[in-house]
Structure 1
Amino acid sequence: MSTPADGGTERRIVLVVEDEYILAVELERALIDVGFEVLGPASSVDHALDLLSEQRPDAAVLDVTLGRETVTPVALLLKSLEVPFVLATALDASELARHAVFADVPNLGKPTDMTQLVNVVQGL
């Protein structure tokens, strides 16, 4: 966690992995507006893994499909680091069930309700 320069309370860091630029910016803004520090947004698996090699977040918001790749390697690393995460993806439950790493992970869907997303991330 980081501590603001003004000596206030620690800000929680949230990794955002989303390849749709406008949605990534919306996610980032919604999280910053309620006091989170955002790591990213990352638009690819490699970018997300690079960010995770530099800093450990407190939570993450992941889109499952990033172009032609899936976010599975990022999710596996987050699980190994015991970092909780939520999904913001258009994939349905049957598609997500094919990936064990996404079992029991909340999916907020797309389009993503930013108020719901903030509430869920605050609860992680």
Structure 2
Amino acid sequence: MIDNPPAKRILVVEDEVWLAIELEDALREGGFDVIGPAASVRQALSLLNDERPDAAVLDVTLGGEKVTPVALLLKSIGIPFVLASASDAAELARHDCLADARNLGKPTDLVKLVEVVRGL
């Protein structure tokens, strides 16, 4: 009998409830386990303190704050991430930790999201 490898665990950081649910559902249907969704930097950092994802999907603007502390932590511990954000390239370029990240935009193509996360 062949055991299937455990599902990759993906952290989702998104403050808009319906978008968070869409991202979570698409990733679960794609065979991933989802950590979160986290709606704030504080919540995301707390989840990262308790669990270690294989990758992450980040929105850039969470209410009035930027996701940069989360991105910096992910980079420092070697966890890849992709952005699902309406932020444009100029906005992302202002933050070194986000400047070279792939941004799938909003609205996010959920099929493409699953495909990209599989490749992380």
Which TM-score band (shorter chain)? Answer: over 0.9
1:47 to 2:43 alignment: yes
Per-residue deviation, 1:104: 1.6
Runs of 4+ in 1 over 3 A off after TM superposition: none
1:12 to 2:13 alignment: no
Taking the aligned partners of 1:78 and 1:31, their CA distance within structure 2 comes to: 19
Q: Report the equivalent of 2:104.
A: 108
Taking the aligned partners of 2:116 and 2:4, their CA distance within structure 1 comes to: 23
**Aligned partner of residue 73 in structure 1, secondary structure:** helix
Taking the aligned partners of 1:67 and 1:34, their CA distance within structure 2 comes to: 28
Per-residue deviation, 1:109: 0.3
1:99 to 2:95 alignment: yes
Taking the aligned partners of 2:8 and 2:79, their CA distance within structure 1 comes to: 12
Taking the aligned partners of 2:37 and 2:21, their CA distance within structure 1 comes to: 8
Long gaps (5+) in structure 2: none
CA RMSD of superposed structures (Å): 0.7
Long gaps (5+) in structure 1: 1-6
